Amino acid sequence: MYTPPSSIIVFTLILIATGAHPEQPEPEPETPVTRFQTYLRIKTAHPNPDYASAVSFLKSQAESIGLKTRTLHYAPNKPLLLLTWPGSDPTLPSLLLNSHLDSVPAEPSKWAHPPFSAHRTPDGLIFARGAQDDKCIAVQYLEAIRNLKGSNFNPIRTVHVSYVPDEEIGGVDGAAKFAVSDEFKELKVGFVLDEGQANPGDEFRVFYADRTPWNLIVKAEGMPGHGSRMFDNSAMENLMESVEVMTRFREAQFDEVKAGNAAHSEVISVNPVYLKAGIVSGDGYAMNMQPSEAEAGFNIRIPPTVDPELVRKRIAEEWAPQARNLTYQLIEKGPSRDYMGRPLMTPTDDSNPWWSVFKQAVAAAGGKLAKPEILASTTDARFMRQQGIPTLGFSPMTNTPILLHDHNEFLKDTIFLKGIKVYESVISALSSFEG
C-alpha cells in the first residue's frame, strides 16, 4: 500500500483546519466567441430540436443588452423569438434581421470532434453543427448590437431580430406563418437580412433570390408478368422511360453549368432521390416477377427566372404523361411568385436604395461584395420577398469552405469576430438610412 509522505499529510490537515482550498483554475472569461460556443452546444438538430433552450439563451443575451423580447407561437412547441431595438423615428419602416433556430442532424461518427461540443482547436477552428448554418449570424447580430449600444449609437429606424423555427424542414410553422401574421404587419418592415453562405475566396457573397424547391413523385403502372417475359407497357419500363427523359433534361441543364454559361443556381436542377419497386418475397425480392407498380422521387429546384408554369407543363406532357400509365404528385415547397405575380427577386442596383446603403456599409467595414447571386438552395427569405419586402441573404464568412449540412462543419474564430464588425457597420448604416 502506498503511504503519502508526512509533509503532504500535514499540509492537507492544515488546509482542512483553515478552510483553505487548493488553488482552482480561473473560469474562462465570457467573450463573443465563448457565447457563440454556448449557443452551438444547444442541440437544435432535427428531428427533436431543443427550441426552448435556444430561445432561453438568446432571450437572456438580448435582455442583458436592453432589447425588448417577445416569444410568439404559431405552432405548438415551436417558439419564435422576436427582439426589438426601438428607433428614434417609429414612422419609418423598420429593419429586420432573421436567423433560424434549427439545424440539420449530424452523424457523430463522421466528425473529427463531437458535433455539439463546439470544440475550438489551437488555430481557432470551432467545430459544431450550425457553426455556418446559421448560428453564427444569430450571435453576430446580438454582438454587433451590444457593441453599438456600448458606443452610445442610437438607431433612427427600429431594428428587429427574429429567430424562427423549422427553416431546415421548410419553414411552414416558422417564417411562413410569421410573414403573414398580424404581429409581422405591426413591425412595418422595410428591409430584411437573412442567411447567406460562406465563400472560400476573400469576397462576401450576397444573394438576391432563392431557387424554389419542388418534390416530384412519379408512379407507374403496367402489366405484371414472369421475369423472363419481354412485353410492352410494364410498370418498370414505363417508369424507366420517364427517368430517362428527365435524365436527358438534367444533363442538358448541367451542360450549361459545365460550359460556364450558367451558375448552378441559374438552371433547373432535377435529381432522383429514391426508387421503389419490386415484390418482396421472404428475405428479398422475387426476381422472377415483374411488378405492376413502380415509383420514383425527384428533388427539383427552379430559379426565379424560369416560369414555373412551363415546368408544370413539361411534367404533365413529357416526364409523367398519362399515355404511359404514369401519374404524379407535385409538392411545391413555398412560393415562387409574390402576390403581384412577380418573381421573388430583390433588385441589386440603384433602383433599390437599400442596396446602395448595404453595399457602402460593407465597404466601410473593409469588405468587398462578390457579384450578387441566386442562392442554389432555399431559405426563409422567400417568405419575406413574397410580401414584396426587399430581402438579401448575407452571412459574412470569407476564406471559409462551404460546409453547411456537411460533416465537420466549422467556422474560424477570427472570421466570426470579423463578421461582428461587418454587422456593426451594416446595422448602423441601415438603421440610420432616412431615404
Whether the CB-CB separation of 177 and 74 falls below 8 Å is answered with yes
Q: How far apart are CA 378 and CA 59, in angstroms?
A: 27
- Among candidate residues 102, 133, 194, 221, the one labeled active-site is 102
Count of H helices and E strands in the chain?
Answer: 11, 19
Q: How far apart are CA 142 and CA 424, in angstroms?
A: 10
Whether the CB-CB separation of 385 and 96 falls below 8 Å is answered with no
- Strands (DSSP E) along 205-344, which ranges? 207-210, 212-221, 225-226, 269-277, 280-281, 284-285, 289-290, 293-302, 326-332
Q: How far apart are CA 247 and CA 244, in angstroms?
A: 5
| CA 141 to each of CA 20, 97, 176, 250: distance values in angstroms, whole numbers, following the listed order | 43, 8, 22, 39
Among all chains, which residue has been given the C-alpha cell 413555398? Answer: 334
Q: Helices (DSSP H) in 308-411: which residue ranges?
A: 308-314, 353-364, 381-386
- The amino acid sitting at 360 is Q
- The amino acid sitting at 335 is P
Q: How far apart are CA 291 and CA 293, in angstroms?
A: 6
Is 133 designated active site?
Answer: no
Is 30 designated active site?
Answer: no
Q: How many residues does the chain have?
A: 435
- Among candidate residues 143, 167, 413, 424, the one labeled active-site is 167
**Residue 250 grid cell:** 438534367
**Residue 136 grid cell:** 453564427
- Strands (DSSP E) along 142-206, which ranges? 159-164, 189-194
**Catalytic residue numbers, as ranges:** 102, 167
